[in-house]
Amino acid sequence: GAVVSQHPSWVICKSGTSVKIECRSLDFQATTMFWYRQFPKQSLMLMATSNEGSKATYEQGVEKDKFLINHASLTLSTLTVTSAHPEDSSFYICSASGSVHEQFFGPGTRLTVL
């Protein structure tokens, strides 16, 4: 149980385009979802926390207009990287928590912006 999926697992896009990453909790209701960014050989950096049906809470230094987060249902959250640039290239990980208050992590999405 407690499986979280992410789609796509990897994506390559041109500079200036927008990319959407989906995060789904497959077998539980996720009241809260978290989005992280991870640079090579570094720790996970929390970008934002989203609760179902409400606006996401962004961490200090994270551009809200650049990284749009939508948590429309108890099983789906999306991260849209708008007008992506090469510096946005990174590994993005989502996690979800529900009634047991434990974070379950997705497998991550590698974004490469050319």
Return residues touching another protein (CB under 8 A): 32, 34, 38, 41-44, 46, 49, 91, 93, 95, 97, 101-103, 105, 107-108
Rounded least distance, CB 14 to another protein, Å: 24
Rounded least distance, CB 32 to another protein, Å: 6
The DSSP output letter for 24 is E
Q: By C-beta, is 27 or 102 nearer to another protein?
A: 102
Instruction: State how far the alpha carbon of 21 is from the alpha carbons of 1, 41, 52, 67, 91, in Å.
Output: 22, 22, 17, 11, 11
DSSP assignment of 54-97: SPPEEPTT--TTTEEEEEEETTEEEEEE-S--GGG-EEEEEEEE
Q: By C-beta, is 8 or 16 nearer to another protein?
A: 8
Rounded least distance, CB 55 to another protein, Å: 16
